[in-house]
Structures are given as C-alpha cells and as structure tokens.
Amino acid sequence: MTSIERIEKVLKREKADRPACSLRCTPEVWDDLMRHFGVATKADVLDKLDVDLRWVSVPFCGPNDRSAPTMGGAGTDLWGNVMEASKNEFNTYYEIVRHPLANCKTVDEIMDYAWPSLDWWDYSKIKDDIKANNKSGDRAILYTCGGGFEHAWYMRGMEQFLVDLYEDPAIVTAILSKIIEYAYKKAMRVLEAADGKINIVAAGGDIGGQDGLMLSPEIWRELIKPHSAGLIVPFKKMGFGTFYHSCGSVTEVIDDFIGMGLDMIDPIQVTARNMQPENLFNRFGDRISFHGAIDEQHLLPHASPREVYDETTRIISILGGNGGYVVSPSHQIQGDTSVANIVAIYKAVKDFRY
C-alpha cells in the first residue's frame, strides 16, 4: 500500500497492511538523525524510516525584522511576540519575553494592531516541499494552519488572557477572530498553490494540562470552541482530513471535537489524566482516530530500544484496534532521546501486521 492509502485507512478507521506513522523532532534531533543515516535533509531521514505522514509548510518572506516561527528562534515573530533563547544540555528553546497585546485595554486597540500580512509567505514553494517529500513514493501530506487559543495568549500573555476569559471576553473574541481569520485565509492560499496535493489540514492549540483542561469546559465551549471550529469545519466540508493538536488531558472535550467533524486527535499524552490508550480507545475509538501516544516524557528518554519496541507494539495493538491510529511520538522528540530508541519505534511499525 502507499502512504496515502494507509492514511486514508486511518481516517476511515480501517486496517491497512501495516500501521501508518509520523515523526516530529527538535532541530537537534533532526541533526542527529541526518548524521546517523548519512543524509542531508529531513525528508531523507523520513524516507529511511519509511514515514507515511509528511508535514509541509511555506517559507516566510516578510520583513527582515520579523520571523515565521513562534518559539522557534530569537527575535520578533510575525505576530510581534519577542523571544529569547533558553538552553539546557540537550536543546535550545525560545520563550516569549514580550507580548505585543499585553497592555491593550479595548477591542478597538486590538482591531487597530498592526496584524501580519498574508503576503509575508512564499506560497509558490509549497509544491517544492511536497515534491521533496514524495521523491521515494506518494506520501500523505499534512499542512498545519495554526490555531487560536495558544497564539492568543502568546500575544496577550497567558495570565492576562486567562483573566480576560472571565473579565473581558470581548477582548478574547477580538483576538481570536483576527488570528483565526488570518490562519484560514493563509490555509486557503496554501491549498490553492498545492493544487490538490494536500491530504490533511491540521489546527491546534494546547488547552490541556497534566491533570485536566487549563480552563473550564464551559468557558472553552463558550469562548474558544467556536473559533477552533473555524479551522476544522470548513476543511472537513471541503473533503480534507482534519487534525487537531493539544497536549495534556483533553478527554473532557473530545466529544466536542468529534461533533465538529474532527478526524484525528494528537498527540495523545499518555501520562496525562484519563489519556491512557485503553481509556481513549474504549470511549472514542469508534468515532475518532489517534496520532501520537509513544511517550516522550518518560519512555523515549529513559527506556532501552527493546522496551521502546515492545511499548510501541503494545500501543499499536490498543489504539490501532480498528486501524484508526498513526504511530508517532507524543510530541517532538527531544535531544535526550537516543537515535536507537527512535529507530526502535519504526522497526516496531515495520514489523507489526494487523
């Protein structure tokens, strides 16, 4: 089967010849993998591991004093967030040190902010990225368009944004409206430029913590859900697979996402409350597919390759009980995980037969 056929099976919750798989890493880990395999690009690494789902993007071509990735580099991102580097022995991370909307008092100030331009992206390059990922065969292509909740608090500051949910919901609505409008319009330009080569449109925004949601389900449904739906419902109606990322415990609102038409939930943080694979499959496995679940918090940094292989096999047997599962680490693999443990995941995928 091709990668596209496997992912189509996942979306329909039907079993394929083997499980489908995906991979995300920090830059340091991509470098380790390229050295290990003796290759020059991320796509080459993914080909070596026979990874089915490929994440594509368009390059930033905006002002020189801005950059594309939030928390992906020092300086000012396209939204106006200012970031500084924070390092440990394994990775360099970037933390927001200035939130551009922190001092806004009115909706008018939000609306008058210098929001980024849709022309700050080179949409013509999306086909090049897709082609690079398809050089060893037809791969399933995922484009992620962004999200509302996270980007909103990035710009406002988390504490202030959480206060706004209760004391100034009009500010919340104004910020989310602008962010979702931008993400939707950018996605439409990407999809047009890709000319039918994208299979899944992803959105996201971390709303879960280790023990539950970071805000009440009722407030989420009232103020956040309508905006999140704006990056799921339209693309579902267009015939794309739909995908949503939130770390943490999100079981309280998975039914809501299913009601929006969500096909796949990510990253399945299995150490969070009620996110154990058995619980998720029993409650939701007949109505939604899963992506992730190979534990990045404890398993991958500390286990042996054999233990990783065995746990990956176990997770597949549970979450893939009806074929609706994409094997992937439960987030970007961090620099404290060995190459041997990464390879063990994909050996388990290759060896598993439904």
pLDDT in tens, 168-205: 999 999 999 999 999 999 999 999 999 999 999 999 99
Which long-range contacts does 156-163 make (Cβ < 8 Å, 24+ apart)? Answer: 156/99, 156/101, 156/102, 156/104, 157/99, 157/102, 160/99, 160/102, 162/214, 162/215
pLDDT in tens, 197-213: 999 999 999 999 999 99
Amino acid type, 206: D
Domain housing 173: 3-351
Query: Among residues of the chain, what percentage have pLDDT more than 90?
Result: 97
pTM, full prediction: 0.97
CATH code, 119: 3.20.20.210
- What is the distance between the alpha carbons of residues 297 and 131, in angstroms, rounded to a whole number? 33
Backbone φ, ψ for residue 257 (5° rounding): -65, -40
pLDDT in tens, 264-321: 999 999 999 999 999 999 999 999 999 999 999 999 999 999 999 999 999 999 999 9
- What is the distance between the alpha carbons of residues 149 and 115, in angstroms, rounded to a whole number? 17
Number of domains making up the chain: 1
Rg (CA), the chain: 20
The overall average pLDDT reported for the chain is: 97
Could you tell me the strand order of the sheet in which 75-76 lies?
Answer: 75-76, 82-87, 92-98
Tokens of residue 202, six digits: 């992803």
